[in-house]
């Protein structure tokens, strides 16, 4: 198990914004718990790998949300609302993970010499993103919801794994929020998909 090294006291006392992924409304950072020094110091390789993989995973979810929010694609109101909420929830979670990695003295990116693609299920390829961006209206809505459901399922799988193997309480709290929020959104999107089919 790797021993954590807290770079600075300020980094160790970062604000962790564990917003549930399905929560609506604005994120109130004043209500979010601050990461404790002990929690920031205690971590293992699974915590590091989770954060390094979940950052790009979340970044793609935000990219998918931005595509849906582009008025030229003509996404439906329910899809646009979902996209806005997903983006609002995952932006602060990315900040949390980057802050934790920095506090641990770890790289924000995965080791490029290792292939982690089999551990990051639900990610769309460049070609799939391009095709999705080319769709319009109801056809776009169906494809977007299907893609986001698969994307969420991948994130949940990663979160459940680190909840079992990780050693950092901040990461486990974040993972639990991801599971809770994204399971709720999958349920919502499944109902929407049935209406769109």
Summarised one tens digit per residue, pLDDT across range 26-35 is 333 334 444 4
Biggest distance spanned by C-alpha atoms of the chain: 53
- Average pLDDT across the chain, whole number: 82
User: What is d(CA 33, CA 24) in angstroms, rounded to the nearest whole number?
Assistant: 19
Give the pLDDT score at 24. Answer: 37
Give the pLDDT score at 131. Answer: 97
Using CA atoms, how far residue 102 sits from 14, 95, 116, 122, 155, in Å, is: 10, 11, 21, 26, 22
Mean pLDDT in residue range 74-97: 97
- 196 vs 197, which has greater pLDDT? 196
Mean pLDDT in residue range 118-136: 89
Q: What is the CA radius of gyration of the chain?
A: 17
User: What is d(CA 179, CA 197) in angstroms, rounded to the nearest whole number?
Assistant: 26
User: What is d(CA 153, CA 189) in angstroms, rounded to the nearest whole number?
Assistant: 12
pLDDT band for 124, please (50, 70, 90 cuts): very high
Q: Which two tokens stand for residue 35?
A: 């990461």
Give this prediction's pTM: 0.77
In terms of DSSP H, where are the helices of 36-75? 37-41, 45-69
Q: Backbone dihedral region of 27: left (phi > 0), alpha (psi from -120 to 50 degrees) or beta?
A: beta
Please give the backbone phi and psi of residue 76, each rounded to the nearest 5 degrees, phi first: -70, 165
Whether 123 contacts 58, CB under 8 Å: no
pLDDT at 76 over 90: yes
User: What is d(CA 96, CA 11) in angstroms, rounded to the nearest whole number?
Assistant: 11
pLDDT at 110 over 90: no
pLDDT band for 121, please (50, 70, 90 cuts): confident
Percent of the chain at pLDDT above 90?
Answer: 71
pLDDT at 112 over 80: no
């Amino acid at each position: 198990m790797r021993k954590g090294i807290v770079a600075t006291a300020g980094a160790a006392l970062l604000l962790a914004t564990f917003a549930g992924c399905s929560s609506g409304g604005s994120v109130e950072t004043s209500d979010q718990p601050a990461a404790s020094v002990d929690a920031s110091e205690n971590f293992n390789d699974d915590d590091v790998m989770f954060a390094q993989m979940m950052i790009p995973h979340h970044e793609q979810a935000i990219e998918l949300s931005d595509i849906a929010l582009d008025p030229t694609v003509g996404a439906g109101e329910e899809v646009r609302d979902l996209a806005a909420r997903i983006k609002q929830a995952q932006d602060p979670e990315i900040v949390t993970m980057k802050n934790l990695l920095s506090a641990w003295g770890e790289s924000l990116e995965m080791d490029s010499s290792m292939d982690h693609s089999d551990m990051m299920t639900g990610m769309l390829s460049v070609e799939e993103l391009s095709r999705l961006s080319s769709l319009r209206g109801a056809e776009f809505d169906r494809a977007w919801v299907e893609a986001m459901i698969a994307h969420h399922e991948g994130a949940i799988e990663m979160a459940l794994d680190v909840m079992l193997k990780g050693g950092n309480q901040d990461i486990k709290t974040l993972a639990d929020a991801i599971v809770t929020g994204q399971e709720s959104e999958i349920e919502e999107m499944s109902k929407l998909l049935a209406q769109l089919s």
